[in-house]
Structure 1
Amino acid sequence: MTSVLIVDDESLVRSAIRAMIQSPEYADLRVVGDCSGREAVRSARESGADVVLLDLRMPDVDGITVLRGIRRLAEPPAVVMMTRFATDIWKD
């Protein structure tokens, strides 16, 4: 089973991602925690997560800074960066 830590500044987004991961179709994934960017490195270390889903754009600390901290851990987890944009960036 793969353990997952969710890092996003918005609790509603964290809850939605948690709900998706906990659905029966992802039975091989287990959420071990969720937090904002400020707590991410500590949470990654303490949770022992295999994978961190990390928001790139957060107001308290940006995802790149968090990624650097996670990569410095003795046994860093894999990191999947995610983000969303408020505007439509794709044009035909």
Structure 2
Amino acid sequence: MLLADDEEMIRAGVRAILSTDPGIEVLAAEASDGREAVELARRERPDVALLDVRMPRMDGLDAAAEIRRTVPGTATVMLTTFSEDEYIARALRDGASGFLLKAGAPRELLAGVRAVADGAACLSPRVARRVISELSSGNAGVRMSRGALARERIAELTNREREVLSLVGAGLSNAEIAARLHLVEGTVKAYVSTVLARLGLKNRVQAAILAHEGGIVDTAAW
């Protein structure tokens, strides 16, 4: 994977956390700005690019968009100390596979990177709650309407599909969901695809948001 952050100490700290997982390999070359991150991604074609939001020359959000355009096989995850809604909304709207906070626990970082490498998506629980809070903002009638609509859509799913959706909402990867539900990972992948298709959702992040709105997220999995 590729790690990009303009602060050397942050890069060292994040790399140290990632190095505790033998399944994660950080490229020897790390980027200190957005343009360098794009160049490295084009050359090395990593599975995952972990990008700081605020970097010189090109910020992480623009770098992520360029990487997705030119290196579609590389998933992008935004890493930042800033949890302002504008960054979250833009990252998710532009197709980032995840959004993690530097202030989060190391296990969140590792789980998020593993999930994205596994073809899933990750959203820090705190970010997820913030997104849901924003989506549910407004008067009580609007909040109730969104929740009711989400529950109505979710009601179309089978019990097993709802179980899978609840764990997607908690940010678990296919492998983690398979272990929790005692299923084969390929079966979980098929369930996720079916859930997305039946609910008309584009990706797992949208599925997670719907799960939160519908109140079915398995918070014990966090």
- Would the TM-score normalized by the shorter structure come out above 0.5? yes
Structure 1 counterpart of 2:22: 27
Give the number of equivalent residue pairs. Answer: 80
Normalised TM-score (structure 1): 0.77
For the structure 1 residues 82 and 18, does the alpha-carbon distance in structure 2 shift closer, same or farther, using more than 3 Å as the test?
Answer: same
Q: List alignment gaps of at least 5 residues for structure 2.
A: 83-222
Distance 2:24 2:53 in 1: 22
Structure ranking higher in strand proportion:
1
Is residue 67 of structure 2 the alignment partner of residue 54 of structure 1?
no
For the structure 1 residues 31 and 58, does the alpha-carbon distance in structure 2 shift closer, same or farther, using more than 3 Å as the test?
Answer: same
Aligned runs of 1:34-53 on 2, under 5 Å?
A: 34-36=30-32, 37-53=34-50
1:74 is displaced (CA, Å) by: 4.3
Q: Which has the larger radius of gyration?
A: 2
Normalised TM-score (structure 2): 0.34
Letter in 1 for 2:31: C
4+ residue segments displaced more than 6 Å: none
Distance 1:74 1:13 in 2: 25
Q: List alignment gaps of at least 5 residues for structure 1.
A: 86-92
1:76 is displaced (CA, Å) by: 3.6
- Offset from partner CA, 1:8-56 (integer Å, 9 cap, x none): 1111111111111112xx1100001311223011101111210000111
SS class of match (1:31): coil
Same amino acid, percent of matched pairs: 43
